[in-house]
């Protein structure tokens, strides 16, 4: 019998080489699957975040764009003193935004006369007038007064500004004259304290929207809320968002920061003209009128442990994004068009 010296099989080196190659290939496949799974989870969250922030910005652009409608050229469209009043945002406390205007969906009512604290109108108010609600009185010279009114749909068809029931000071704007105190004879024109043009009778009554945006925490997430009446209840009190009584509507979830800046002056290229507050408007100076409002929204995803997320000490870990838009209130620009130098028209 012959003995066979040769041995069948793989050497140790060959086995180690095969194991290393298998591990490399397996690692590559695992990495590819992990990356695909992360992208599969990421993309819907990125899409939702983008949709939320774009929806919120589109609504803000619409409200700012029609701000100041029917209010006259030298009325303050934006409420002052709302800088840094909201919850902690990405870098600082978020802002509130409040815009006054008329959306044109409800017809005006002609004024017949003044009876004490009431304004008698030519016909009854249409049902689209909220009662109670914010209304705007316009005078022949374009000046205006607005406030929270009661008894619009009563049988006497009168508008009433009851004493002691006005909304906060930031919600009230007086014209150069006093509605209930006509100017005394010989007081002259152009002054304050009830001295205006030759007549104190307003021309018309209009619905006024005081659109207010606030960020508030709800269900453990920062959300953007909107109110068409400044968050003011039927009792005339202003309540913060969110409000179970229905003064506020949820615009978008995951909006964690709102920052607003305002620009005045004739030259929009001057960076120093941007301010955190709109400030007062002084007629007939067009440089006191806000020409543009820059709104910055910061949004976050609502799902944890996603690729690309960042950490924030106040808001936790999330995938974040930001959208910036500069919007001009059209009514204010049209109102001051004739007062601008030719190079800025």
Tens digit of pLDDT for each residue in 309-318? 566 666 666 7
Instruction: Give the pLDDT confidence score for residue 36 in this predicted structure.
Output: 62
- Taking the CB of residue 339, how many other CB atoms lie within 10 A of it? 16
Q: pTM, whole model, 2 decimals?
A: 0.75
Domain ranges of the chain: 47-98+210-345, 103-207
Neighbours of 183 (CB within 10 A): 20
List the chain residues with pLDDT less than 70: 1-8, 34-46, 116-117, 156, 162-200, 244-245, 266-272, 302-317, 335-345
**pLDDT on residue 63:** 94
Q: What are the pLDDT digits (tens) for 178-217?
A: 444 443 333 222 222 333 333 467 788 899 888 999 999 8
- Please, which contacts does 232-240 make with residues 24 or more away whose CB atoms are closer than 8 Å? 232/134, 232/148, 232/167, 232/171, 234/132, 236/132, 236/148, 236/165, 236/166, 236/167, 238/167, 238/168, 238/171, 240/214, 240/216
Give the separation between CA 44 and CA 46, rounded to whole angstroms: 5
């Amino acid at each position: 019998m012959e003995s066979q010296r040769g041995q069948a099989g793989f050497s140790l080196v060959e086995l180690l080489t095969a194991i290393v190659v298998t591990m490399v290939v397996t690692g590559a496949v695992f990495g590819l699957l992990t990356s695909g799974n992360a992208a599969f989870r990421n993309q819907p969250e990125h899409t939702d975040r983008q949709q939320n922030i774009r929806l919120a910005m589109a609504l803000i652009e619409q409200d700012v764009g029609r701000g100041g409608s029917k209010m006259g050229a030298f009325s303050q469209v934006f409420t002052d003193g709302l800088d840094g009043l909201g919850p902690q945002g990405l870098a600082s406390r978020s802002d509130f935004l409040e815009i006054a205007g008329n959306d044109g969906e409800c017809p005006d009512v002609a004024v017949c006369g003044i009876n004490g604290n009431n304004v008698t109108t030519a016909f009854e108010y249409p049902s689209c007038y909220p009662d109670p609600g914010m209304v705007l009185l316009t005078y022949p010279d374009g000046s205006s007064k607005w406030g929270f009114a009661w008894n619009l749909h009563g049988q006497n068809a009168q508008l009433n500004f009851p004493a002691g029931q006005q909304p906060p000071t930031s919600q009230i704007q007086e014209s150069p004259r006093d509605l209930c105190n006509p100017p005394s004879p010989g007081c002259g024109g152009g002054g304050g304290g009830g001295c205006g043009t030759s007549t104190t009778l307003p021309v018309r009554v209009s619905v006024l929207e005081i659109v207010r945006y606030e960020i508030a925490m709800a269900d453990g997430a920062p959300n953007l809320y909107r109110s068409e009446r400044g968050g003011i209840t039927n009792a005339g009190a202003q309540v913060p968002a969110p409000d179970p009584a229905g003064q506020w509507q949820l615009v978008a979830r995951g909006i964690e920061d709102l920052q607003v800046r305002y620009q005045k002056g004739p030259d929009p290229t001057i960076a120093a003209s941007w301010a955190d507050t709109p400030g007062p408007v002084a007629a007939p100076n067009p440089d006191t009128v806000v020409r543009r409002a820059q709104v910055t929204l910061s949004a976050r995803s609502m799902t944890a442990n996603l690729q690309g997320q960042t950490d924030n000490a106040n808001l936790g870990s999330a995938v974040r994004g930001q959208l910036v838009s500069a919007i001009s209130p059209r009514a204010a620009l049209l109102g001051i068009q004739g007062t601008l130098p030719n190079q800025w028209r």
